[in-house]
Structure 1
Amino acid sequence: MTSSRRQWLRTAMATAGATWGAQAASAAAMAPQGAMAPGRLPLAPEPLPALRPRRLQPGDTIGLVSPANATYEREPLTLAVEALQAIGFKVKLGRHVQARYGQFAGTDAQRAGDINDFFAEDEVAGILALTGGSGCNRIVDKLNYALIRRKPKFFGGFSDLTSLLNAIHRQTGLITFHSPVASSEWNEFSLQHFKAVVMDAVPDLLVNPNDKGDSLVQATDRITTVRPGVARGRLVGGNLTVLASLAGSPYFPDCRGALLFLEDVNEYIYRLDRCLSTLRLAGALDALAGVVLGQFTRCGPGDGAYGTLTLDEVFDDYFLPLNVPVFRGAMIGHIRRKFTVPVGQMADMDAQAGTVRLLSSAVS
């Protein structure tokens, strides 16, 4: 190809690119806000100011939704309702909480609709997921974020709910809650932390129980300091594989200056490695203030043999180069006793002590 021909191609491509950019900018300026997605707000370049939901009180009505998997038997729903009533709440079932579409609790429109409906209903003080599973990513772009921002209220759950917790906070600034789902075991530990954060409006201290039992050393619920230090930032995160699936979308959390908390269950180590690689390549690890690793339950090498990296090695590879405080073993994840972690709340972490302290109440 001659030099004149190459120059002509470069000029033509630059002209076409400039024309396309101008057309796209013009179209974006003229497009109505609603054209982006149902009720979605324009994504702010900086984190939105935190919106705190009203704290829950005995007698409040909780809207029970199933944004992910269907519940096939009647008893789990009955037990979940009775548990919430025992806490002191009234319970209102989403219209499709018992629906079924494949493995999901209804179609995408039905599951998203139940959430939107409950945010719109003044009678409902808060919204809690019945269970996790899969499918929340399918509806993350179907929530009415403009409505949620106008009528903020408690929204909680964990596992697959990671998508919705982070999307709601990212799009609206509303603090959401990585908490037990309604069908979780509401033991004393889980209930104590849920009440402290969501009902009593106190700046909770998230610290593992110190219980050796009759052993010489504590063998369960241990904290491991990966890199010592203290840090302050907004709490974001949740289930690692679900979070990684949001990378590159407008629903992924802003991780700049954040405390990233992660957990997972039933994943091979190589898959967790891949998810952390996704976060690294997306730039999510570049400017973290600190990392809190929860429980990685039944996450092993697969096939009964270590031909792969260990979890220790994977975490060291990704987190030690960041030069920020990191600890592992927090009571976050698919475990019986779990913290309630407010997504978007400012907190201090101490990697040596293995603690996270909320700086203020996450509810108003």
Structure 2
Amino acid sequence: MKKLRKGDTIGLVSPANSVDLGKLKSAIENLKSIGFKIKLGKNADKSWYSFAGTDLERAEDINELFKDDEVDGIMCVRGGYGAIRLLNLLDYEMIKNNLKPFIGYSDITSLHMAFSKKCNLKTFHGPMAASNFSGDYTKETLNHFLKVMETNDDYYLENISKELGFYNKLSSKGELIGGNLAVLISSLGTEFDYDYFGKILFLEDIGESTYKIDRMLWQLKNFGVFDKVAAVILGDFANCEKSAESDMSLKEVFDNHFKEFDKPVIFDLESGHCNSMLTLEFGKILEIDGDKRTILVKNKI
């Protein structure tokens, strides 16, 4: 599967919440000025309840953009909520025969999981049109997105503005999977769930109370996920605060789960609901070196 290049056509799809049309227009103009051609899904600007069209309309857009030979890759317009409602309406056999880059994050985690499980599609936890490329978007987000799309060499995954955190000096190697913690939990144990054995699990979230983060991590632990994975990478957890003074802070929650963990655990990776975000390649092999405190993305295997 080839990645995107300037001059390629990006299909824009809205699998979840409806979009502000001004932001959508701005994002389309910006993506064109960057050098991409744009094809808007026929229902991407619709609205039904809080969603961007009915479930069937949103699913049809995804199916049609995968089927469309003029479309080189698919970028989600925004997240919110709603992608999980589409999982039984997608044509996975057709998608498996028309693999192309699929980009998004947050609620789009439901689709990352389903495409991984049903189609073996390597997707991108990356910027979305209206969420990240409307108005005065951050150039750091664009630059890393283009770097990931344009490079065929191995490269180090490095933060934009702060140092990566490492809980230990352990090292490991594995395929990257993951996404939004709360959304991942919603498909845990279903036919759309990841295969966790030997994988490096990336997690991020936004707006969840710290006790809820703790509960979701316990759910992963009790389901055996942490026994199966090769490593854990914690991304941006935006606005995840205590709901009561006696609650654990976010750092204390993470310390409680990972300080004595016997596998590599990295924290503060700048990917998720942060101002400038890194694009992650789900399905790529990562090599974590705990002594050198590095993450190497393997393009050449």
Q: Fold match, TM over 0.5?
A: yes
Contact 1:207 1:354 (C-alpha < 8 Å) held by counterparts: no
Identify which of 275, 281, 286 aligns with 1:336. 275
Residue 44 of structure 2 aligns with which residue? 97
Residue type of the alignment partner of 2:8: D
Distance 1:180 1:351, change over 3 A: farther
- Aligned-pair distance for 1:320? 4.0
Corresponding residue number in structure 2 for 1:187: 138
Question: Where does residue 350 of structure 1 map in the other structure?
Answer: 289
Distance 1:87 1:318 in 2: 42
Shift of residue 351, structure 1, vs aligned partner: 4.3
1:117 aligns with 2:64: yes
Task: Check whether the contact 1:224–1:327 (CA below 8 A) recurs between aligned residues.
Answer: yes
Match of 2:237 among 284, 296, 301: 296
Q: How large is the Cα RMSD of the aligned pairs? A: 1.7
How far 1:344 sits from its partner (Å)? 1.2
Please tell me the residue identity of whatever aligns with 1:358. Answer: V
1:8 corresponding residue in structure 2? none
Q: Is the 8 A contact 2:153 2:298 kept in 1?
A: no
In structure 2, the residue matched to 1:60 is: 8
Q: 1:361–1:198: structure 2 CA closer, same or farther, 3 Å change rule?
A: farther
User: Could you tell me how far 1:202 is from its partner in structure 2?
Assistant: 3.5
1:78-98 alpha-carbon deviations (Å, 9 max, x no partner): 111012112211101101101
Tell me the alpha carbon deviations over residues 142-179 of structure 1, each in whole angstroms, 9 at most, x when there is no partner: 21111111110010001111110121012111110000
Q: CA–CA distance in 1 between the matches of 2:10 and 2:300?
A: 20
Aligned with 2:129: secondary structure?
Answer: coil
| Counterpart contact for 1:230–1:325, Cα < 8 Å | yes
Whether 2:25 is the aligned partner of 1:78: answer yes
Task: Choose 194-203 or 234-243, whichever is displaced more.
Answer: 194-203
Structure 2 residue identity aligned to 1:145: Y
1:130 deviates by 0.5
The CA deviation string for residues 45-97 of structure 1, in whole angstroms up to 9 with x for no partner, is: xxxxxxxx2121222111100001101x3210111101211221110110110
TM-score, length-scaled by structure 2: 0.93
**For residues 317 and 295 of structure 1, do their structure 2 counterparts lie closer, same or farther at Cα, with a shift above 3 Å needed?**
same
Tell me which amino acid in the other structure corresponds to 1:348. E
Give the conservation status (yes or no) of the 8 Å contact 2:159–2:278: no
Q: Distance in 2 between matches of 1:138 and 1:204?
A: 36
Deviation sequence 1:234-285 (CA, Å, 0-9, x none):
1011111111111011111111111111111111011111211221222211
Letter in 1 for 2:239: R
Which residue is equivalent to 1:200?
151
Matches within 5 A, 1:1-364: 53-71=1-19, 73-183=20-130, 184-185=132-133, 186-209=137-160, 221-302=162-243, 305-351=244-290, 354-360=293-299
Q: For 2:188, give the aligned amino acid.
A: A
Percent of residue pairs bearing the same amino acid type:
38
Alpha-carbon contact 1:196-1:202 (below 8 Å) kept = no
CA distance 1:148–1:77, shift in 2 (3 Å) = same
Assess, with a 3 A threshold, how the Cα gap between structure 1 residues 353 and 188 changes in structure 2: closer, same or farther. Answer: farther
Residue 59 of structure 2 aligns to a residue in which SS?
helix
Deviation at 1:353, TM superposition (A): 5.1
Q: Could you state the TM-score of these two structures normalised by the residue count of structure 1? A: 0.78
Q: C-alpha deviations, 1:262-311, integer Å up to 9, x for none? A: 11111101111121122122221112111111111110112xx4311222
Q: How many residues align?
A: 297
Ranges in structure 1 where 5+ consecutive residues have no aligned partner: 1-52, 212-220
Deviation at 1:225, TM superposition (A): 2.0
Query: Amino acid of the residue matched to residue 118 of structure 1?
Result: L
Deviating more after overlay: 221-230 vs 281-290: 221-230
Aligned-partner SS, 2:57: helix
Q: Which runs of 5+ in 2 are unaligned?
A: none
* Residues in 2 aligned to 1:249 and 1:361: alpha-carbon distance in whole angstroms: 33
- Following superposition, the deviation at residue 206 of structure 1 comes to 1.1
Query: Whole-Å Cα distance in 2 between the matches of residues 356 and 69 of structure 1?
Result: 33
Give the Å deviation of 1:321. Answer: 4.9
Q: Distance in 2 between matches of 1:102 and 1:82?
A: 27
SS of residue matched to 1:285: helix
Task: Report Cα offsets for 1:162-211 as digits up to 9, x if no partner.
Answer: 110121012111110000111204422212221122233333321113x6
Q: CA deviation at 1:339?
A: 0.9
Partners of 2:59 and 2:44 in 1: CA distance: 11
What is the one-letter code of the residue matched to 2:15?
P
Between stretches 79-88 and 348-357, larger displacement belongs to 348-357
C-alpha distance in 2 between matches for 1:256 and 1:321: 20
SS in structure 1 of the partner of residue 225 of structure 2: coil
